[in-house]
Amino acid sequence: MKLKGASVDENRSISLRTFQRDLKDIESSLNIRIVYNKSLKKYVLEQDAVQPDARNNRLFTMESINQLNIAQDASNNDFILIEERKPLGLENYNTIREAIVKNCYLEFEYQRFDQYKASKRKIMPLALKENNHRWYVVGYELKDGLRQQMLKTFALDRMDEVQIGTGFVLHETVDFRKHFNDYCGISTKPLEGFTGAVDVKIETSIEYGKYFSTLPVHSSQKTEIEKGKTFLYFHLIPTMEFVAELLSHNARIKVLEPAELVSAVKKHLQENIQQYG
């Protein structure tokens, strides 16, 4: 990013004061800091050693800005191909956000995939979580007026008639990042036989291992290359969502440890084979 000088067309140039004000606005609203690099003699995005969460939020912000630019180009050009899309439920974002900020109950109709009819739900909304380009609201559900003990997630694209209710008081502090840290994705229901995090070892080829390097499955993922193979290591609580992720890679990976997870993967593979006689 370069500040244009007075020699540039006046209709396209801006003053230094305006430019500096815009930099402050960008930093305060988007948490993106733009600084002057003396060696390059231009303004660049600051690449500082901030907390991982802050870096992740910054990447998300930049990705969102790029998506907006792409969307604007797509509306005016036919060389950008976008897959057919479905609503993500983000039309309810502001309502849900307001309920979280004001500590108000959230009431809505919810359509589960395994049910024919939507049901009325009421929750204490506490956070919003993004996973695989879908958004979820996280909170405690109320049944018969009583708060349930387990945190639950509700997909925004399955919510309808979303309304803000009365206020509530939450006496404890919930660490959401810690809550989801041991799980792959959004599901927090452990596979049968698992009660805590375990060490998982997976084998794949060096070539296919590069796929996992560019798109990690879990934050605990570590990679080692040995004897012409790539070995992936995870520390997490196995769930059906994690098994589904493993099965999506077909024969290109092999689960080595723990034995209980190997058995679970084998069971699902055998069930799949039985469907074809």
Q: Supply 24's token pair.
A: 């402050």
- CA 146 to chain CA centroid, nearest Å: 30
97 and 163 belong to one structural domain: yes
Total number of domains in the chain: 2
98: domain CATH number is 2.30.30
124 and 168 belong to one structural domain: yes
Structural domain harbouring 154: 90-174
169 and 94 belong to one structural domain: yes
165 and 227 belong to one structural domain: no
Number of residues written out for the chain = 277
pLDDT tens track of the chain, all 277 residues?
A: 444 554 444 555 677 777 777 777 666 666 667 777 777 777 776 665 455 566 667 776 777 777 777 777 777 777 777 777 676 778 899 999 999 999 999 999 998 887 788 889 999 999 999 888 889 999 999 998 889 888 899 999 999 999 999 999 988 888 888 889 999 989 888 999 898 999 999 999 999 999 999 989 999 999 999 989 999 999 999 999 999 999 999 899 999 999 999 999 999 999 999 998 7
Q: Supply 143's token pair.
A: 């049944």
Q: Supply 277's token pair.
A: 């006689």
- Give the pLDDT score at 53: 63
Tell me, yes or no, whether 153 lies in a domain: yes
**pTM, rounded to two decimals:** 0.70
Please compute, for residue 110, the number of CA atoms within 13 A of its CA located in the half-sphere on the CB side. 17
Tell me, yes or no, whether 3 lies in a domain: no
